[in-house]
Amino acid sequence: MAEEENTKVRLEIAHVLFIDIVGYSKLSIDDQRRAIERLNDAVQSTGAFQQAEAAARLAKIPTGDGMALVFYDSPESPVECAMEISRKLSTPDAPRLRMGIHSGPISGVVDVSGRSNVAGEGINIAQRVMDCGDVGHILLSHRLAQDLSQFKHWRPHLHDLGECEVKHGMRLGLVNLFTSEIGNSDRPSKLDHPTAAAPSEVVQKAAASRKSAWYWVGTGAVVVLALVAAIFFLRARAGRLPANSTANIPEKSIAVLPLENLSQDPENAYFADGVHEEILTRLAKIGELKVISRTSAAKFRASPETLRAIAEKLGVANILEGSVQKRGNSVRVNVQLINARSDVHLWAETYDPSLTDV
C-alpha cells in the first residue's frame, strides 16, 4: 500500500513559458555561448522571475537552445516575464527569440542525472505553442489567454489567431500577444503552411480526451441550463438570505471546482479536466453570470477549506463541485450546486452516458 502511494502521480496546474533562440544551431560555438549568457541575464533580471524564485514557486529547465520556466503562482507571471525579456533583448545585436506560454498539468519527475525535474502536458503544449511562432512572437494558448481575458488590462494586447496544426497532427488554438513596443504583430508563417505527421501515442490520448469532451457539448448544455435556472432562483430569494460579510458578492456568480477523478487510472484525470473545462466554457458564454476562471478555481483542487471559505476567497455566491468516474466505455458524472453562504444544496444530478455514443 505504501509503495502504491509513493508511485502515485501528483498533478499540478502550472504556467509554462517556453523560450527558444531562433537560428541557434547556425551560430558559432562562441556566439551560442554569448546568446545563452545574454538570455540568462535578461531572464534572471525580470521581476516575475525574481519574485517567483524568492517564493520557491518556479522551476527552471534548460533546453540547450533556450529554456522552459514553470511558474506555480499566477498565469500572469510567465506573460509578464516574457514581456520583460522582450524589452530587455530588443536591440539589433540581441538573441532573436520566440516564446510560447500555456497553463496545464505537470508533475515532478527525476531525470537521468538523479535531479528533480518536471514533465507533463503543460510543458509539451507550451513548446508546441512556441513552435508555431516566428522571431519576436509571444504566443499564448487559448486556454491561458482565456484566463487573462478576465482582466481588462490584458484584453487590448490579445489577438486571436485561430488554430495551428503542429507536428503531431494536434490543432492548438493560439493568441498573439503584442503591444506597440513588444512582440510581433505579424501573422505566424506556420499558420499558412501547416505541417502534418502521424499522431503520437500521447497526442492520440489527448485527441481521445478532446473527443470525449465533445460529447459533453450536449450533456454540458443540460448542466448549464439547470445551473442557470438555479442561479436565477437564487436571485429571487436573495432578499431572504441573512446579512453577512459576503453581501457585496453578486448572486449570479459561480466557481466550478475541478471535478474529482474517482477512476483508478490516473490518465483519466485528463478526462475529468475535459468535462470541467466544457462546463466552464458553456457558463462563460452567459453574459450576466460571473464565472471564475479555471486557473483560479484550480488552486482549490482537493482543498481542505470549507466551501464557504473558498467562495469568499473567489468572490462568488455559488459553488459547483462533483466527480467523474470512467470505466471502459461508461462514465458517471456527479455534480451538485451549492449556495456557499447558506451551505444549501440547490441542485444535484448524476449522468451515466456511454462513450460509445461519441
Those residues with Cβ within 8 angstroms of residue 285's Cβ, 6 or more apart along the chain or in another chain: none
CA angle 293, 335, 290 (to 5 degrees): 30
Check whether 93 has a pLDDT greater than 70.
yes
| Structural domain boundaries enclosing 279 | 202-357
Shared-domain flag, residues 78 and 99:
yes
- Rg of the chain (C-alpha set): 22
99, three cell numbers? 516564446
Shared-domain flag, residues 181 and 274:
no
Separation of alpha carbons 148 and 177, rounded Å? 11
Shared-domain flag, residues 176 and 286:
no
Separation of alpha carbons 267 and 99, rounded Å? 28
| The predicted structure's pLDDT at residue 260 | 84
pTM of structure: 0.57
Shared-domain flag, residues 326 and 182:
no
Shared-domain flag, residues 65 and 181:
yes
pLDDT tens-digit profile of 250-273?
A: 888 888 888 888 876 666 666 777
pLDDT tens-digit profile of 192-202?
A: 765 434 343 43
| The predicted structure's pLDDT at residue 141 | 93
Length of the chain: 358
pLDDT tens-digit profile of 30-47?
A: 999 999 999 999 999 999
Those residues with Cβ within 8 angstroms of residue 109's Cβ, 6 or more apart along the chain or in another chain: 116, 117, 118, 119
Shared-domain flag, residues 235 and 253:
yes
State the CB neighbour count (10 A cutoff) for residue 328: 8
Shared-domain flag, residues 253 and 226:
yes
Closest CA to 104 of 11, 216, 233, 41: 11
119, three cell numbers? 514533465
Shared-domain flag, residues 155 and 284:
no
Check whether 4 has a pLDDT greater than 60.
no
Average pLDDT over residues 69-75: 92
Check whether 220 has a pLDDT greater than 90.
no
Last residue of a domain, one of 155, 180, 198: 198
Shared-domain flag, residues 245 and 343:
yes
| The predicted structure's pLDDT at residue 241 | 47
Last residue of a domain, one of 144, 167, 198: 198
Shared-domain flag, residues 154 and 234:
no
| The predicted structure's pLDDT at residue 182 | 93
Contact 175, 187 (CB under 8 A): no
Structural domain tally of the chain?
2
Shared-domain flag, residues 224 and 331:
yes
Contact 255, 308 (CB under 8 A): no
Shared-domain flag, residues 10 and 119:
yes
Last residue of a domain, one of 151, 175, 198: 198
> Is residue 292 very low, low, confident or very high in pLDDT (cuts 50, 70, 90)?
confident
| The predicted structure's pLDDT at residue 186 | 93
Check whether 191 has a pLDDT greater than 50.
yes
**38 vs 224, residue with greater confidence:** 38
Separation of alpha carbons 87 and 83, rounded Å? 6
CATH number of the domain that residue 252 is part of: 3.40.50.10610
Check whether 341 has a pLDDT greater than 90.
no
CATH number of the domain that residue 144 is part of: 3.30.70.1230
